[in-house]
Amino acid sequence: MTLHGVIFDLGGTLLHYTAPGGSWEDTEKTGAKAVYDLLYEAGYPLPPLVQALATAWDQALAMWSRLIRTPDTSDLYLNRQLGLLARRWGVDGIPPEMLDALAGAYMAAIQSYVRPLDGAVDTLRGLRGRGLRTGLISNTIWPGSSHRRDLDRYGLTPYLDDQVFSADAGAWKPHRDIFEMELTALALKPEEAIFVGDSLYFDVWGAQQAGLRGVWIEQKVRWLPDGLEVTPDAIIQNLPELLDVIETWR
């Protein structure tokens, strides 16, 4: 079947959401510290900062582990997660307007170092020049509007025909329903599209289960659930290499 479209992951694929040399844990703790500071300034009693940040990281890991095991969508909202975190810090009954402020502080702290991966704009432009439809599926608890601002800031939006964000869609990778949403939006059949991402599990395996080919941006850590083996349809080291892969498939 002829290739007509390319769908991308967001974090770690088109945009970095970690500081240079940083880790996912560092990112979560950066956002959590902004939340902690705002609550502290508002006069809420809080545990020591180091303990509070360790709790925030534990909660993030537990949330994503639950999302792997169950289709429950109640975890997919940042305000809910921050309310649960505050409760673990001993703060209960935060009003909705304060939760909105906490979410804004959390996202702003992380967005301060968001930046595109090398070659992101040129690669998207190259795909558009080849007549291919392009889309995006992001696993995120942030509202999609916040990520769209990041895409706008670095000039990526004009090269993406559609974007799906899990918190808005009530679905997430690797479950096939979110892939089907984007395929429908792009008017593509699964065999006409490829998915590009940095996660072997969420991106490559998820796409393959939905009938797409999966391209992995190779990482040092091949994180997979125990007992699962995944073979990408192609492996690249950076985004510009994708154009050569696509030529071989066309």
The DSSP-derived string for 84-100 is HHHHHTT-----HHHHH
Q: How far apart are CA 89 and CA 47, in angstroms?
A: 6
Q: Residue 12: its pLDDT value, please?
A: 95
How does the average pLDDT of the chain come out, rounded?
Answer: 94
Q: Residue 68: its pLDDT value, please?
A: 73
Q: Residue 203: its pLDDT value, please?
A: 97
Residue 98 has pLDDT above 80, yes or no: yes
Residue 105 has pLDDT above 70, yes or no: yes
- The CATH superfamily holding the domain 5-17+115-249 is HAD superfamily/HAD-like (3.40.50.1000)
Q: How far apart are CA 210 and CA 23, in angstroms?
A: 29
Is pLDDT larger for residue 223 or for residue 81? 81
DSSP string, 131-192: T-EEEEEE--SS-HHHHHHHHHHTT-GGG-SEEEEHHHHT--TTSHHHHHHHHHHHT--GGG
Residue 226 has pLDDT above 90, yes or no: no
Q: Residue 191: its pLDDT value, please?
A: 96
Residue 62 is encoded by which pair of tokens? 């537990």
Give mean pLDDT, residues 220-237: 90
Residue 71 has pLDDT above 70, yes or no: no
Cβ density class 186-221: b for 16+ within 10 Å, e for less: bebebebbbbbbbbbbbbbbbbbebebbbbbbeeee
Give mean pLDDT, residues 181-210: 97
Q: How far apart are CA 120 and CA 139, in angstroms?
A: 19
Residue 12, phi then psi, degrees to nearest 5: 85, -5
Q: Per mean pLDDT, which range of 122-131, 141-150, 177-186, 214-223 is the poorest?
A: 214-223
Split at pLDDT 50, 70, 90, the class of 223 is confident
In a 3-state reduction of DSSP, which class is residue 6?
A: strand
Q: Residue 1: its pLDDT value, please?
A: 61
For the segment 148-195, what is each residue's pLDDT rounded down to a tens digit?
999 999 999 999 999 999 999 999 999 999 999 999 999 999 999 999
Q: Residue 63: its pLDDT value, please?
A: 86
Residue 36 has pLDDT above 70, yes or no: yes
Give mean pLDDT, residues 201-206: 96
| C-beta atoms surrounding 227 within 10 Å | 5
Q: Per mean pLDDT, which range of 21-25, 100-104, 114-118 is the poorest?
A: 21-25
Q: What is the pTM of this model?
A: 0.94
Tell me which residue of 5, 8, 53, 44 sits closest to 198, measured CA to CA.
Answer: 8
Residue 67 has pLDDT above 80, yes or no: no
